[in-house]
Chains A and B, each alone.
Chain A
Amino acid sequence: MTSRERVLCAFHRGTPDRVPVSPQHFGRIPPDSDLAAQLVRETDIMLYAGWACDCFVGSALPRDVETTGNMTRTVYHTPYGDLTRVVTRTPVTSACTEFPCKNADDVLKLLATPYEPPTEQTVQEALRHFFQRKDWLGDEGVVLFELPNALCFPAEWLSPQDFCLLWADAPDVMEEMVRVGNERLLAFVERVLKAGVDMFRIVGGEYASTQLGPVAYDRLVRRPDRELVALMHDYGAIAYFHNHGPIMRYLEAIVDIGVDALDPLEAPPWGDCDMPKAKSILKGRVCIVGNIDDMEVMNQRSTEEVLAIGKKLIEEAGPDGFVLSGTASGTYGEHAARNFIALARYVRSQM
């Protein structure tokens, strides 16, 4: 099997010729380095590409962007008043330090603003990015189109605290925001499906699972994401779901959404994944992708230790419907890359 066939077989819950070993993207490895080339050659890498083209607010919302020092301020002009976002950079990282919507009223302003879908030009750019990467990778792995779910609309437009308070104080407004977000998202996804995008990585479930709890997960994730996944399946595309944090109590909901694959199912201390139990719930229904911690284990432990953990995982989660991978931190480094290569060599030696 080629790497692509191997991963696809696992995504379809089948048993490939060997368990795929798939680093998620290049982490901190420069994509044009020898090590990146070796990862592509030796592992069954998964790359991300594309973006959702601001489909939640669309192209009609006028905005001004200004960068001063380490701050970027974006002012969105709605007919009902301005909404401001500030992103601040520090030497180590960057983050949104002011979110445009502060309360339910701001959300309603945003939702009442006339909407136009993303322009053809922006969508074409995202598509070009996806297809170029897919052509470049060929059979050496898979490329997933990165997609927020509808819950990302409130989660990206309100601070974590105001997001939680919106759910507590005005759940109907939160549901409306997610409903409208999903409508716009579905229209966008249909456009890229028609253009031939065949695999999506859906993110956002964790905003409900780590912050809001199971009732919110049911209403704000399970219900809208089911529609999204059904649309992808109508076009024969793969729906891959990303959800950080404790996951065991959400597995049945995720099965119900109908996704093909799920990452990263973190083990303690970051999550609560009990792999044999998770496998018994997901077997034949959802492919497991994970779950060796990128930063703590892959990037710091010896290759012997990582191999021992990998072997145990293959026993617990494989050989069907399983992709041996990290925890999607986006930060794995050189040591982790070498450990991924060692894992790939190990599974190859077992064929």
Chain B
Amino acid sequence: MKRIITLSLLLLVCITIIFNACQSQAELDYARYYVNGKGLYEAHCQNCHGEDGKGLGQLYPPLTDSLFLKRNRTKLGCIIKNGLSGKIEINGQEFDGQMPAETQMTNMEIAQLVTYITNSFGNKNGLYDVNAAAADIKNCDK
């Protein structure tokens, strides 16, 4: 009897460990994308969009417009890769500037950046992985 209890306890512990490991694998992925994305953001984007994502006056738009980022989730990769110009409206304010292209960026880097910006500055849209980036980048010209 004592043995059965010990065994089932052991089993329970095993299941818990495995279950936790699975759960934290997804969390780990997210964390890895996010942290790398933060580093890329600091190196490539922060000078214009700011540490807090608030942009700079009417020169550079903020990244705090959650609705815009959610609606354009599949286009963010293309914005990064090809740059952006022309009139857009962010937080109800018009911008008409020019964002330089980052043509050399890999799909992985784009995925990390999109994960970072869409989960910072008041946005919370979860992981955007490399497969999603690859699919969206293919459709850039369309």
Answer yes or no: are A and B bound together in one complex.
no
**Residue positions of A touching B, CB distance < 8 A:** none
